[in-house]
Amino acid sequence: MTATTIVQLRSAIKLDADAIKMIIKFIKNKLNSPKSTIEVNEIVDPQLIAGFKLNINGVEYDYSLTGSLNRLAQEL
């Protein structure tokens, strides 16, 4: 029996199934557990402008335009 990992996916628009699959693949790679079960809680957040954010076991992965802008602001 494999443990289920609940992942929060916050995206600017509703993602299609292919995109979700690719994200799940990415998550499995990150967890180094290809056979684990991933449960994705999707939230649409237009504040992100474009892109998405992942929260995997408390660790946040930011691939949004808002995140990119924030990182740019910190680098300036």
Start-to-end CA span in the chain (Å): 48
Q: How far is the CB of 67 from another protein (least distance, A)?
A: 10
Residue 56: closest CA among 34, 35, 41, 71 = 41
Q: Does 5 bind another protein (CB under 8 A)?
A: no
Q: How far is the CB of 48 from another protein (least distance, A)?
A: 9
Q: Does 44 bind another protein (CB under 8 A)?
A: no
Q: Does 56 bind another protein (CB under 8 A)?
A: no
Residues with Cβ within 8 Å of 14's Cβ and at least 6 positions away in sequence, in order, are: 42, 44
Which stretches of the chain bind another protein, using CB under 8 A?
11-13, 15, 19, 22-23, 26, 46, 49-52, 63, 65-66, 69-70, 72-73, 76
